Amino acid sequence: MGIKILQEECVGCTLCVGACPFDAIDMIDNVAVMNENCTNCGACVDACNFNAIIKEESQMKKMDISNYKGVWVFAEQRDGELMDVAVELMGEGRKLAEEVGCELSAVLLGDNVRNLSDELFAFGADKVYLSENENLKQYTTDGYTKVLSQMVDEYKPEIVLFGATHIGRDLAPRVAARVDTGLTADCTKLEIDPEEKGLMQTRPAFGGNIMATIICPKHRPQMATVRPGVMEKAERRDKREDQELIEFKNDVVAEDIRIKILDVVKAGKASVNLADSEVIVSGGRGLDKKEGFELLEKLAEKLGGVVGASRAAVDAEWIDHDHQVGQTGKTVRPELYIACGISGAIQHIAGMQSAKTIVAINKNPDAPIFKVADIGIVGDVYEVLPKLIEALE
């Protein structure tokens, strides 16, 4: 089980020590030895040029995966409105379905939401699975988990995609656990392995400092959540004759739902709309102080944009979490993204690399942000920005 170092093959080159993200390999008498930090991630297996590190075949329980067919998208709706992320997943789901050579279906749960099935057909669903019940009017963990798990057991999809919303991230882990399969959170890239036809799910790991490609080889369905804004929306197409609405009768009763939603309160304050902004001026740790954001605010105002921030700036409490761009914040794709004093952790880059034009301003010429920037300025934000604001006036 797990990663094993073949000591007789090890030449003591230490390549694996450098490749290990978890400090789990020590050199003892010129031979690599695994310590207890090992998470079996496999980075060292790839790094070793001498085939001295192997991943042993696991003793996992086997399930029959051959009956599982088709790509499903959980078509999240709130108050009868389809969420944008569902449309994005329809776009991505179509690509995957074509690569696998299978159907793309949308799964729609709620009460009186039948009308949304036409939307889903327009966005390319071959089938829409609809399950309605007054007890599904509002999302609850218990109600939705029960129905969706029953549907997975009944129809056996091979891939199920969810938006990584506060609902998707509440529901997906529960369903994955109930149907006993794997789930990969917050994927930024989904591909089909051309040989095995399995889903390769790539996501930032270790705080976004490395990327990991996750597979779910022996369980079905393969389940993933994808953050809003990461994938491109499906385009509307003409309705086809062969599209099919399938109703799934569910038996959810009020007693199934073990919590009670007493009230839903919409935020009064106008929260910043990063997702729809064409221009974002973002600040990071390099601003050094809270006041730096006043400068960013000025520039954003001049450009008709809004202010974003890196996790470091939010953690330092210089700005509210609503403004955070990145893996744990929002994913954005504006026309113009100006990164000020942001070093460019992958965590952050994952959230903004799809911007059309990226401008980076940073004191450190080696900052990783320059590797994704279209235009880079090595310099002090507090010197560059006032001049830029002046030039725009």
Partner 1 sequence: MKIIVCIKQVPDTNEVRIDPVKGTLIREGVPSILNPDDKSALEEALRVKDQHPDTHITVMTMGPPQAEEVLIEGLAMGADEGILLSDRAFSGADTWATSNTLAKAIEKIGNYDIIFCGRQAIDGDTAQVGPQIGERLGIPQVSYVEKFFIEEGSIRVHRALEDGYEVIEGKSPILLTTIKELNEPRYPSIPGIIKAYREDRIKVWTYNELDIPSTDIGLDGSPTQVKRSFTPEPKGKGEMLEGSVNEKVESLVKKLQEKNLI
Which stretch, 106-114, 123-131, 138-146, 152-160, contacts partner 1 (CB under 8 A)?
138-146
- Interatomic CA distance for residues 48 and 71, integer angstroms: 36
- Sign of dihedral through CA atoms 363, 365, 368, 372? positive
Question: Residue 208 CB, nearest distance to partner 1 (Å)?
Answer: 7
Binding mask 323-362 for partner 1 (x = CB under 8 A): ----xx------xx--------xxx-x---x---xxxx--
Of 244-273, binders to partner 1 (CB under 8 A) are: 258-267, 271
In angstroms, rounded to a whole number, what is the distance separating the alpha carbons of residues 253 and 140? 12
Under the criterion CB under 8 A, does residue 217 sit at the interface with partner 1? Answer: yes
The CB-side HSE value for 264 (13 A sphere, CA atoms) comes to 7
Closest approach of partner 1 to the CB of residue 24, in Å: 9
> Cα 320–321–326 angle (5° rounding)?
135
DSSP class of residue 325 equals B
- Asked whether position 99 contacts partner 1 by CB under 8 A, the answer is no
Q: In what order do the strands lie in the sheet with 244-247?
A: 183-187, 222-226, 159-163, 71-74, 104-110, 127-132, 244-247
Nearer CB in complex with partner 1: 70/204: 204
What is the distance between the alpha carbons of residues 384 and 392, in angstroms, rounded to a whole number? 12
Which two three-digit tokens encode residue 90?
A: 């329809």
210 binds partner 1 per the rule CB under 8 A: yes
- Which residue lies nearer to partner 1 by CB, 81 or 294? 81
Residues that bind partner 1 (rule: CB under 8 A) add up to a total of 105
User: Applying CB under 8 A, does 58 fall inside the site for partner 1?
Assistant: yes
Note whether 178 and 240 are within 8 A (CB): no
Q: Is 185 in the site for partner 1 (CB under 8 A)?
A: yes
Distance between CA atoms of residues 302 and 265, nearest Å: 33
Contact 245, 124 (CB under 8 A): no
Cα atoms found within 13 Å of the Cα of residue 73, Cβ hemisphere only: 36
Residues 321 and 314 sit within 8 Å (Cβ to Cβ)? yes
239 binds partner 1 (CB under 8 A): no
Q: Is 147 in the site for partner 1 (CB under 8 A)?
A: no
**At its nearest, how many Å lie between partner 1 and the CB of residue 365?**
8
27 near partner 1 (CB under 8 A): no
Assess 12 for contact with partner 1 (CB under 8 A): no
Question: CA 127 → CA 24, 76, 329, distances in Å?
Answer: 48, 16, 33
For 348, list phi and psi in degrees, rounded to 5: -75, -45
Among 104, 312, 339, 352, binds partner 1 (CB under 8 A): 312
Least Å distance, CB 386 to partner 1, is 9
User: Smallest distance from the beta carbon of 147 to partner 1, in angstroms?
Assistant: 15
Minimum CB–partner distance for residue 158 and partner 1 (Å): 14
> Which of 14, 40, 243, 354 touches partner 1 (CB under 8 A)?
40
Using the rule CB under 8 A, is 110 a contact of partner 1?
A: no
* Nearest partner of 86 among 164, 151, 152, 158, judged by Cα: 164
Nearest to 77 by CA among 119, 135, 105: 119
> CB of 107: closest distance to partner 1 in angstroms?
19
Among 73, 205, 300, 309, binds partner 1 (CB under 8 A): 205
| 30 belongs to the binding site for partner 1 (CB under 8 A) | no
137 is a site residue for partner 1 (CB under 8 A): no
The region of 67-75, 151-159, 180-188, 231-239 touching partner 1 under the rule CB under 8 A is 180-188
